[in-house]
Chain A
Amino acid sequence: MRIVVFVKQVPAVSELPWDAKTGQLRREAAEGMMDPAAKRALEAALRLKDAHGAQVIVISMGPPSAEETLREAVAMGADRGFLLCDPRLAGADTLATSYTLARAVGALSPDFDLILLGCHSADSETGQVGPHLAEELGLPAAAYVEKMALKGRKLTVERVSDGWLETLEMDLPALLTVTARAFRPRPVPMTGLEQAFGQGEVFILSAADLRADPEHVGWAGSAGRIIKIYAPAAQKKGELIQGTPKACVRELMARFGDRLGGLLAKDLSGEEQA
């Protein structure tokens, strides 16, 4: 069985590498990291590899630094990583991205059985790339998958979509996107990581290697044009209260107690209640 996993390197923004126990940011991860949902997709692939035997290749489109993410994937157990790295690929919208990824599948693993992606990446992702790619490749597909089972060539998956729990079935080859909730990833073994950085099966490809039509990749291949970009404006001119917490609350009540009481339909005046 051949599995292709698409991973993305995302900026380790303030919110994600965050230690639930200590409440501290994990600064060591502060540059770039494997997108959490993509990591889950990789874990799902590795579980299939453990259970059924599979060749797992990992593909990423991104800047040279994304090579680290691929090495991490190899350390976790992927067989090989490919980085699609070319200035011509930059500025791609989801349409151009999915075209490029489809070319990569064609070039690197045309006889794949399963394609896995994270359903939304943590930076700016739209959730569109997986479904677009399914259409590019003409595959049965499901997004937001949280469970899967394979029997022969039949894949059964469970997912939640808009508050509905669905069980879906499809035959391989197929494409799935997984959420960041399921398939808790295995730790990256340190020795594996060292090895992956030492030698490691990671290859770098250009748009020409994919024989991709330059008209369809990167900014040139994107439908949308950004005409303006800005920080969202704050809308209100509110009142600022400062001081000790207790003083703040007192002031809030003194100045806005009536308003709050009205909104809460409660008497907050502190007068004796009957």
Chain B
Amino acid sequence: MNQERAIWVVGDYRNYFQNRVTLQLLAKAGELAAKMDGTVCAVVMGHGVEEWVGEYQAHGAQRIYVMDHPLLSEYLPGLFARALESLARQRRPEIILIGATSFGKELAARAASRLGTGLTADCVDLYLDQEGRFVQVAPAYGGNLLAEIVFPRHRPQMATVRPGAFAEMPHDASARAEIIRLDPPAGLSGDGVRLVSCRRLGYQGEDLENAKVVICGGRGLGSRKKFKNLHELARLLGGEVGATRPVVHADWAEEERLVGQAGKHIKPRLLFSLGVSGAIQHTAGIADPEFTIAVNKNPLAVMMQKADVAIKADAHQVALALIRELKARGSS
């Protein structure tokens, strides 16, 4: 068994329909496994998780470890980390991938400590280099740079990966995985944290996450008042307004509108990006739009370089001109 090179993807299914990162990781793990003669394994921990076992099977898992037990009925990172640790100690995967959700990051950090291994946060890409090393690409130094990281000694190699970094595979109802059911380790208990209550919060920006058109504003818009015009623009274009972190911090827009690593992951067909520099923490939340229009005074801004059409002008003025133009064209 130790000869086998397994890539594990830990199922984070609590927000299955909103957050597909586990499925995206299964697809990527499939690519990596093909190159290293490995096996793609999903790990599903919890209680009453059959539905997710089926989903992961249909999305590329070749083997699924299922720990379905009342002891695991609370979705707590301290608890899951212990279960994952014991499983990893027995089965010795080469690589463990976890989506960089809040839960995933907490779980991954705790499991890595327990396993005494390294963990790279928020990867935007993963690949095997010519020497067969597993390379993790992650933002460094405040996100202005990308670093490629390897673990020379530590195993398993662990990484959390940004939602949206990879595409999931289509659902294949005929796919069959080897399913291995396991009991949790004897006497499993959490870290002493008790879940008193939990409930899903209301509007969390799902409209933004699913919008086909997003108008994203950055600090270059200049003020809260000017930022407000984006709502008018969004209305005219039938889109949603997104924002960068400085905008949210300055209270020009609600927290729910934050786009990026720390906020929403969007996948619009059409993106208007106004007064946005294009820091990686921001762009990591944007999955390949078909068409991007950027407005910035600085033609060298990363966002301008990424755009299909880069408009070198004042962001606010362009927003106003665009609103006028759209109204004139009868798009009211």
Which residues of A line the B interface, CB within 8 A? 11, 13, 15-16, 18, 20, 23, 93-95, 98, 120, 122-124, 126-132, 134-136, 139-144, 156, 160-171, 174, 181, 222-232, 234-236, 238-246, 248-250, 252-253, 256, 259-260, 263-264, 266, 268-270, 272-273
B185 in contact (CB, < 8 A)? no
Contact A249 B322, beta carbon cutoff 8 Å: yes
Closest B residue to A229 by beta carbon equals: B147
9 A-B residue pairs with Cβ-Cβ distance under 8 Å, sorted by A, are A15-B246, A20-B224, A94-B119, A95-B113, A126-B109, A169-B196, A222-B118, A225-B150, A244-B313
1/0 contact string of B132-148 vs chain A (CB within 8 Å): 00011001111111111
Q: From known contacts A223-B117, A227-B150, A248-B311, infer whether A263 and B270 are also in contact, taking CB-CB under 8 Å.
A: yes
Complex Cα gap A128–B120 (Å)? 9
Tell me how far the C-beta of B150 lies from the nearest C-beta in chain A, rounded to whole angstroms: 6
B308 in contact (CB, < 8 A)? yes
Q: Which residues of chain B (208-227) have a CB below 8 Å from chain A?
A: 212-213, 219, 222-224
Q: Which chain B residues border A244 with CB–CB below 8 Å?
A: 313
Which of B103, B139, B193 is A162 in contact with, Cβ under 8 Å? B103
Contact B198 A124, beta carbon cutoff 8 Å: no
Which of A23, A131, A141, A170 is B194 in contact with, Cβ under 8 Å? A170
Contact A164 B105, beta carbon cutoff 8 Å: no
3 shortest A-B CB distances, which residue pairs?
A223-B118, A234-B305, A126-B121
B73 in contact (CB, < 8 A)? no
Q: Which residues of chain B (231-259) have a CB below 8 Å from chain A?
A: 237-238, 245-246, 249-251, 255
Contact B110 A134, beta carbon cutoff 8 Å: yes
Interface bin, chain B: 35 or more
Please report whether the interface of chain B is mostly helix, strand, loop or mixed according to DSSP.
mixed
Contact B223 A23, beta carbon cutoff 8 Å: yes
Tell me how far the C-beta of A150 lies from the nearest C-beta in chain B, rounded to whole angstroms: 15
Contact A127 B105, beta carbon cutoff 8 Å: yes
Contact A18 B246, beta carbon cutoff 8 Å: yes
Q: Which chain A residues border B328 with CB–CB below 8 Å?
A: 270
Complex Cα gap A253–B120 (Å)? 44
Segment of B12-20, B31-39, B59-67, B173-181 engaged in the interface with chain A? B12-20
B71 in contact (CB, < 8 A)? no
Which residues of B line the A interface, CB within 8 A? 14-15, 18-19, 77-78, 81, 101-103, 105-106, 108-110, 112-114, 117-122, 135-136, 139-154, 190-201, 204, 212-213, 219, 222-224, 237-238, 245-246, 249-251, 255, 262, 269-270, 280, 290-295, 299, 302, 304-314, 317-318, 320-322, 324-326, 328-331
Contact A234 B306, beta carbon cutoff 8 Å: yes
Contact B291 A263, beta carbon cutoff 8 Å: yes
Complex Cα gap A98–B292 (Å)? 41
Q: Which chain A residues border B290 with CB–CB below 8 Å?
A: 263
Contact B112 A132, beta carbon cutoff 8 Å: yes
Tell me how far the C-beta of B174 lies from the nearest C-beta in chain A, rounded to whole angstroms: 31
Q: Which chain A residues border B304 with CB–CB below 8 Å?
A: 238, 240
Complex Cα gap A173–B44 (Å)? 31
Contact A131 B106, beta carbon cutoff 8 Å: yes
Q: From known contacts A161-B102, A163-B15, A167-B198, infer whether A127 and B299 are also in contact, taking CB-CB under 8 Å.
A: no
Identify which of B148, B291, B311, B328 gathers the most chain A CB atoms within 10 Å of its CB.
Answer: B311
Q: From known contacts A164-B200, A228-B147, A266-B238, infer whether A94 and B121 are also in contact, taking CB-CB under 8 Å.
A: yes
Contact B193 A135, beta carbon cutoff 8 Å: no
Q: Which chain A residues border B146 with CB–CB below 8 Å?
A: 229-232
Contact B154 A223, beta carbon cutoff 8 Å: yes
Complex Cα gap A225–B204 (Å)? 37
Complex Cα gap A269–B310 (Å)? 21
Q: From known contacts A23-B223, A223-B151, infer whether A236 and B305 are also in contact, taking CB-CB under 8 Å.
A: yes
Identify which of A164, A170, A256 gathers the most chain B CB atoms within 10 Å of its CB.
Answer: A164
